[in-house]
Each structure stands twice: as C-alpha cells, then as structure tokens.
Structure 1
Amino acid sequence: MGPLLGLSRGIDALNGAVGKVCAVLCLAAALISAGNAFWRYLFRDSSNGLLEIQWYLFSAMFLGAAAYTLLKNEHVRVDVLYGGLSERKKLWLDLVCTVLFLVPFAGLMTYWCYEYLFLPAWLGNEQSSAPGGLVRWPVKLIPVVGFALLLLQAFSEIIKHIAALQGEIHIDTSYEKPVQ
C-alpha cells in the first residue's frame, strides 16, 4: 500500500492546490464583475468578453472545486443513514459508493465532455456569437479537466479507504482526513 498511498498523497496535493486556485478565481470573478458593472454605469458601455470570462471563471471554480470538496469530505451526504453507522461501516459505505457510483459517473463525464463538448469546439475553432465574445474551446475544456480531477480524487479516496480498512491509516469518517 505504500506506493499507492504516495500516489494518493500526490493526488490530494494536486487537488488541494486546484482548490486554492479556485478561491483566487472566485476573487477574480468578483473583481471582473464589479469592474464591468462600474464601467457600464460610468461610461454606459459593457464588454461581452468580460461577461463571458465571468462565466468561464464560474465554470472553473465550480468544476475545479468538486475534487477539492471530495478531498475535504464536504460533499452532501444523507446523515440519517450514514450518521448511525460504525466507523468501519462508514468506510465500507464510502468505498462501495465511490467504486459503484462516483468512478463510473466521473469517468463517463470526462469522456463525454471531451468527445462531445470540447473536441468539436476545438476542431471547429468555435467562437462566441456575441460581439467581442471569446473563443469557446477553453470553457469547454474546463468540464473535462474538472471531471478528470474528480475521477483522480475518487481513486485517491479508494486507496485511502482500503488502507484504512486494512488498518494502515486512520480516517476520521466525520472529516476523512488521514492521520499517518
């Protein structure tokens, strides 16, 4: 399990860094929004490019933070069932649900977003129809990257849960932060 736990730590570090970038993107989106509103009211002019970059940033924040949210165990969970389980049963439930639901979902979404969203936009050099709008392929790459990061984090969680079930690490199932 040692090399796999090392891989898990690397994935966790990657998604931890992406989560921090998402926080900065939130600030950037707010500043661009405020600046665009200020410019619009002051000069009665607006930029479609600035409006679209806000959407791009929101997309990056939302999809980039999904893996970070899983890393921090902040996804919504139905505590009616989960809260009454023992630590070991929580580990098993998380492991089984990650393998049966999250991995297939994130894997399919990564593939579909690449194949049917990003690739046509890239190959067709898709542009915004709005005057002053932006190129579309970067925003269509964001879901591919976001779901790929979520898939990687799912693998990291699987590794940590198997290690915890084998007694190699401890996961606090209320926060799922491994203690080594």
Structure 2
Amino acid sequence: MQALDKVISVIDRITELFGKLISWLVLYMVLMTFANVVMRYVFGISIIALYESVLYAFAISMTALAGWALMRDQHVRVDIFYGAMRPRGRALVNIAGTVFLLAPMLWVLWSRSIPYVERSWKLRETSNEVAGLDYLYVLKTFMLVFVALLAFQAVSFLLKNLRIAVLGHDPDAPLHPDEI
C-alpha cells in the first residue's frame, strides 16, 4: 500500500506543480484582455496578435488544466445518485467511469489528434489573420498535451479509487460514522 501511496503522491505533486504554473495564464488573460479593451476603445488601436495571444492562453489553460481539475475533484459529474453513495460506491462509479468512459475517450482523442497535429507541424501552420500569430501548430499540440496530462492524472485517480474500493474508505480523509 505504501508503494501505491507513493505513486499517487508523485503524480499528484507533478499535476499540482503543472497546474499552478499553467494557472498563471489566467492572470495573463485578464491583463491582456484589459489592455486590448483600453487600446481599442480609448486609443483606437487593435492588435490582432495580442487578441490571439489571449485566445491561445485560454486554449492552453483549458486543455492543460484538465488533469488538475480531475485531481481536485472539480470535474463535471452527471450522476444523480453519486452524492448519496458511500465511499466504496463512489469509488466503484469512478473506476467504471475512468475505465469505460475516460480511457476510451482519451485513446480516441490521442489517435485522432496525432495526424492533425503532425500535419499542422509539417505546414508550420499559422493564423488566418495577416497580423496574427505564427504558432498555430504549437497551439494544436496542446490537444496531445491535454490527453497526456489527463491520462497521467487519471492513473492517480484510478489508483485512489481502487484503494478506496478495497479499504471501503479513503485513508486520507477522516471517517464519518455514516460512511462506515
């Protein structure tokens, strides 16, 4: 069990570090959006590359932070019975969702995105805007980053839920009398 805890801990620490690093893009988006608005409506200046950089930052943060959201249990659930379940039941739902829904989705996204990203890199694809950014191929690479980071964190998520399913409770959380 200690080896399992160590693997979970390492994955979670890496995800946390990466999540905190990428989350700084949110500040960048706020500041650059403010700058764009001021420049456009006060000075009458519009810089397409600056506007696109905000879009890039948004796309990067949404794709790169998916694993962090999974680790922090901030992902979307569409299960009306989940909240009323005991820890073992929730763990079994999480295991089934990871194995039968998340893993196949990640595989399809990975396998379908590789040719798309490869083609973009071969062409060194750029913005359709004349004054836009020249790095669309780098942005498209974040589809693969999304899959890799989410799959990496899904391993930790799966291991945590396997541990809960076996033990009947989360050893990291305090036990409540109604959950025994």
Give the TM-score normalised by structure 2: 0.85
Q: Per-residue displacement from partner, 1:121-152 (whole Å, max 9, x unpaired)?
A: 11111111212211211110112101211111
In structure 2, the partner of 1:55 is 55
SS at match of 2:132: coil
Cα distance in 1 between the residues matched to 2:98 and 2:79:
17
Contact between 1:110 and 1:145, CA under 8 Å: does it hold in 2? no
Letter in structure 2 aligned against 1:93: V
In structure 1, the partner of 2:119 is 120
- For these two proteins, the number of residue pairs brought into alignment is 171
Provide the aligned C-alpha RMSD in A: 1.9
Structure 2 CA distance for partners of 1:107 and 1:9, relative to 1, 3 Å: farther
In structure 1, the partner of 2:171 is 170
Cα distance in 2 between the residues matched to 1:143 and 1:171:
33
Gaps of 5+ in 1: 173-180
SS at match of 1:44: coil
In structure 1, the partner of 2:100 is 100
Cα distance in 2 between the residues matched to 1:124 and 1:96:
40
Letter in structure 2 aligned against 1:130: E
Letter in structure 1 aligned against 2:118: L
In structure 1, the partner of 2:155 is 155
Cα distance in 2 between the residues matched to 1:69 and 1:108:
21
In structure 1, the partner of 2:131 is 132
Letter in structure 2 aligned against 1:124: L
Give the TM-score normalised by structure 1: 0.85
In structure 1, the partner of 2:70 is 70
Shift of 1:169: 5.4
Gaps of 5+ in 2: 174-180
Stretch of structure 1 that moved more, 105-114 or 132-141? 105-114
Residue 77 of structure 2 corresponds to residue 90 of structure 1: no
